[in-house]
């Protein structure tokens, strides 16, 4: 039953993301082993949208390590647990809570034992800054701990780079890059501290190759402004230009949404309930990394619900054929609006 529920949620989210992003580009899926236990390690720019994108594009079922703060509500805790989300505790959550990670790590070891996969965001927090921040050693503890418990485990790490054109925007683009596998076993016969440092360094470098990495924090905003938004979908090119101290943009053209076009106007009119909710919620968002998360949440809940209610009203006033026609046209309009070029 849980497998069916996971598959249903995955499919629903996959459809929802297609109606939220103009384009989702996925590359490197051939790097993902089909029958090995995997620890996915990804960068983390965009709150809850990041795990949703990876969970709906990875061919393997995932267990997600998620910051413990979102598990405080009992109902939400049950819902998150039903889709394989596990709480991870950080020092900032309180020194007394960190000890609870041991039970979570053991759960991960069991997941690996059955050749399944775990996803962790090793930077420890989210940030829209286009830089791979220093990785915490939590993922190395999980990797080495799994091999200590099961020395014959063929565990690999697959780094993932998530790259957004405009991370907070509706109808933007995202490119997800699955990197080459990193064998954990090769570090086992060395000093543990040295092994931890070496593994962190290799994964850090892999992520810096898979996502835009602007090392210079002093002139960060000046550097970002030298590039077009869509340039950041291609970190291999941006990073190469940065390495060569080039200030020139790659030269790709960004299509900008024209708020006055007819399709967008009709879509907004038809989705007025979603826009009303957004006007209310947007004032309560304290971290900009959650903007896309709340927009997506409204898009996959309020929008379809409002279309259903509006269809029902039309059906009551006229007949079911009017209602069905309106519902189909609403879905088509929403899809055309998000997928059209600007």
Please report the domains of the chain, with CATH numbers, ordered by start residue: 2-211 (3.40.1130.10), 262-339 (no CATH)
Describe the crossing of helices 291-317 and 2-18 by its angle, rounded to 10 degrees: 90
Residue 74: pLDDT band with limits 50, 70, 90: confident
Confidence label for 290 from pLDDT (cuts 50, 70 and 90)? very high
> What integer is the mean pLDDT of 218-242?
94
- For residue 246, the model assigns a pLDDT of 63
Strand partners, 118: 39, 63
- Judge whether 117 and 39 are in contact, CB under 8 Å: yes
Instruction: Tell me the average pLDDT across 78-94.
Output: 78
Whether the pLDDT of residue 215 is over 90: the answer is yes
| Residues 88, 304: Cα–Cα separation, whole Å | 33
pLDDT above 80 (res 26): yes
The string of DSSP letters for 137-194 reads THHHHHHHHHHHH-TT---EEEEEEEEESSTT-TT-EEEEEE---EESGGGTTS-HHH
Q: Please give the DSSP secondary-structure letter assigned to residue 133.
A: P
Lowest mean pLDDT among 213-222, 259-268, 279-288: 259-268
pLDDT-derived band at 299 (thresholds 50, 70, 90) equals very high
In this prediction, residue 163 carries a pLDDT of 98
Identify the pLDDT of residue 258.
58
CA gap 138, 142 in Å, rounded:
6
Mean pLDDT along residues 39-50: 96
Task: Give the percent of the chain with pLDDT over 90.
Answer: 78
Residue 102 has pLDDT above 90, yes or no: no
Q: Is the pLDDT higher at 168 or at 243?
A: 168
131 has a pLDDT exceeding 60:
yes
The string of pLDDT tens digits covering residues 183-202 is: 999 998 889 899 999 999 99
Radius of gyration of the chain (CA): 22
Higher pLDDT, 111 or 80: 111
Contacts of 279 (CB under 8 A, 6+ apart): none
Q: How confident is the model at residue 98 (pLDDT cuts 50, 70, 90)?
A: low
* For residue 52, pLDDT beyond 90: yes
pLDDT per residue as tens digits for the range 152-193: 999 999 999 999 999 999 999 999 999 999 999 999 888 989
> Tell me, what's the pLDDT at 90?
66
Q: How far apart are CA 155 and CA 143, in angstroms?
A: 8
Q: Looking at the predicted structure, is the pLDDT value of residue 144 above 90?
A: yes
Q: Which of 53-57, 251-255, 282-286 has the lowest mean pLDDT?
A: 251-255
Looking at 16-30, 56-70, 245-259, 283-297, which range is the least confident one? 245-259
| CB-CB contact of 180 with 156 (8 Å) | no
């Amino acid at each position: 039953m849980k497998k069916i529920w996971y598959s249903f949620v995955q499919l629903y989210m996959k459809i929802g993301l297609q109606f939220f992003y103009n384009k989702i580009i996925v590359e490197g899926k051939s790097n993902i082993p089909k029958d090995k236990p995997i620890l996915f390690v990804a960068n983390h720019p965009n709150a809850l949208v990041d795990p949703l994108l990876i969970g709906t594009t990875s061919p393997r079922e995932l267990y997600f390590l998620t910051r413990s703060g979102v598990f405080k509500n009992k109902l939400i805790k049950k819902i998150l647990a039903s889709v394989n989300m596990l709480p991870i505790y950080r020092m900032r959550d309180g020194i007394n809570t960190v000890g609870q990670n041991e039970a979570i790590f053991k759960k991960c070891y069991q997941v690996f034992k059955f050749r399944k996969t775990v996803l962790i965001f090793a930077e420890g927090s989210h940030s829209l800054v286009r830089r791979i921040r220093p990785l915490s050693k939590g993922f190395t503890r999980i990797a080495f701990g799994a091999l200590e418990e099961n020395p014959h485990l063929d565990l690999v790490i697959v780094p993932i780079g998530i790259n957004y054109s405009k991370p907070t925007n509706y109808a933007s683009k995202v490119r997800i890059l699955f990197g080459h596998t990193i064998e954990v076993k090769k570090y086992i016969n060395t000093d543990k501290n040295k092994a931890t440092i070496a593994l962190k360094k290799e994964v850090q470098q892999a992520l810096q190759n898979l996502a835009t990495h602007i090392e210079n924090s002093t002139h960060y905003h000046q550097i970002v402004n030298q590039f077009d938004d869509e340039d950041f979908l291609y970190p291999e090119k941006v990073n190469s230009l940065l390495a060569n101290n080039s200030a020139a943009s790659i030269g790709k053209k960004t299509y900008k949404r024209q708020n006055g076009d007819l399709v967008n106007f009709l879509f907004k009119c038809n989705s007025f309930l979603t826009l009303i909710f957004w006007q209310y919620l947007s004032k309560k968002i304290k971290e900009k990394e959650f903007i896309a998360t709340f927009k997506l949440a409204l898009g996959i809940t309020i929008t379809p619900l409002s279309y259903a209610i509006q269809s029902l009203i039309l059906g009551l006033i006229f007949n079911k054929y009017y209602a069905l026609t309106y519902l189909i046209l609403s879905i088509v309009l929403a899809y055309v609006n998000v997928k059209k070029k600007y």
